[in-house]
Structure 1
């Protein structure tokens, strides 16, 4: 999630947006648009795949969801906390954990100051193996 205080105006609460928001709330991890669309179909919500893609993009731009790209390059989405955070991602199963801490922010601002940059934002994603995948890989 970018480090910024300015958020675009809230999105209109349409039936489709509420359905997608509910599907994201029920998901434990990042989901692709196709996975969200499949989940909506299973629950009987009639939302077209193109609408899911457009809505997720708008929600990502407004800061209502986080977006990350899986190893195949596909965008995946998750409702995360409203506070600035980063992600720790398992490279095997994709499990994602929100992490917070001021060390990254201090480092980013120090580097920006050193080079005369202002209004700096950043995104950090740490990738490794979760305990379960590490145990399975032996």
Structure 2
């Protein structure tokens, strides 16, 4: 856990978050920890998530209500995600263009140490599928692959 003091609670939070495939709220993460038998309190979960965020170990997005959602960052690099507004499914996107744009913006404005937050949301393919659609009634082959994510 580079850059953050290792405690049993932070380790439990990071390990549990690492098992999540989608962004989760602090409350959802707390429930997962409790389900695993961990006695980490909700306040401790919030503190651990803040520390992990500052250390660059988690990605953070906001949902439509403004609540912060967390996902363990698989690499040291900054990432951007597409988030489905209906089901919450997240998908990392190739952010090279965004990073290049931010770098150019810093150069043209004279700003240094530029940081940014970019949130992209939409409706994923499975959520766009008409109600009652099945693979034989209009779904594409990619829909089945997307549904498994």
TM-score normalised by length of structure 1:
0.84
Structure 2 residue ranges without an equivalent (≥5): 134-149
Higher relative contact order, chain-length normalized (CA < 8 Å, sep 6+): 1
The corresponding residue for 2:100 is: 106
Q: Distance in 2 between matches of 1:124 and 1:86?
A: 7
Match runs of 1:1-138 below 5 Å = 10-81=3-74, 82-136=76-130
Displacement, 1:103? 1.5
Displacement, 1:61? 1.1
SS class of match (2:129): helix
1:6-33 deviations in whole A, cap 9, x for unaligned? xxx6222211111111210111111111
Contact 2:59 2:79 survives alignment (8 Å): no
TM-score normalised by length of structure 2:
0.79
Q: For the pair shown, which has the larger CA radius of gyration, 1 or 2?
A: 2
Could you list the structure 1 runs, at least 4 aligned residues long, displaced by more than 3 angstroms after superposition: none
Structure 1 residue ranges without an equivalent (≥5): 1-8
C-alpha root-mean-square deviation of aligned residues, in Å?
1.8
